[in-house]
Amino acid sequence: MLPPEYNLSMARGWESKSVEEQQSQAGSSEPKSGPRPTPEQLARQRQRQGLLLSRARVRQQLEAAQNPQHRQLLELALAALDAQLAQLV
């Protein structure tokens, strides 16, 4: 049987190689060309993504809704989200 220190050092070695590999892959996957987006562009992208997520959630609720009043409310919410998305474009 091997001493416990052997397994401990081996695990650390494998772990450090894995971390090193992950860091090199992360560095190589970044886009190299093109201008960086401005803070305003990033904020607009986040707002658009949030609206798209909300829209998907409302569509899902609309598909499951059975109460006509609730469906009507969801359709109004969907129209409002579509209008907000149209303003962002």
Please state at what angle helix 68-88 crosses helix 39-64, rounded to 10 degrees: 160
Asked if 88 and 47 count as a contact pair (C-beta separation under 8 A), the reply is yes
What mean pLDDT value characterizes the chain?
A: 83
Asked if 65 and 76 count as a contact pair (C-beta separation under 8 A), the reply is no
In angstroms, the CA 48 to CA 44 distance is 6
Q: What is the pTM of this model?
A: 0.59
Domain limits, the chain: 40-89
- Specify the residue for token string 């494998």: 14
| DSSP structure class, residue 30 | S
pLDDT digits (tens, 9 = 90+) for 37-76: 999 999 999 999 999 999 999 999 999 999 999 999 999 9
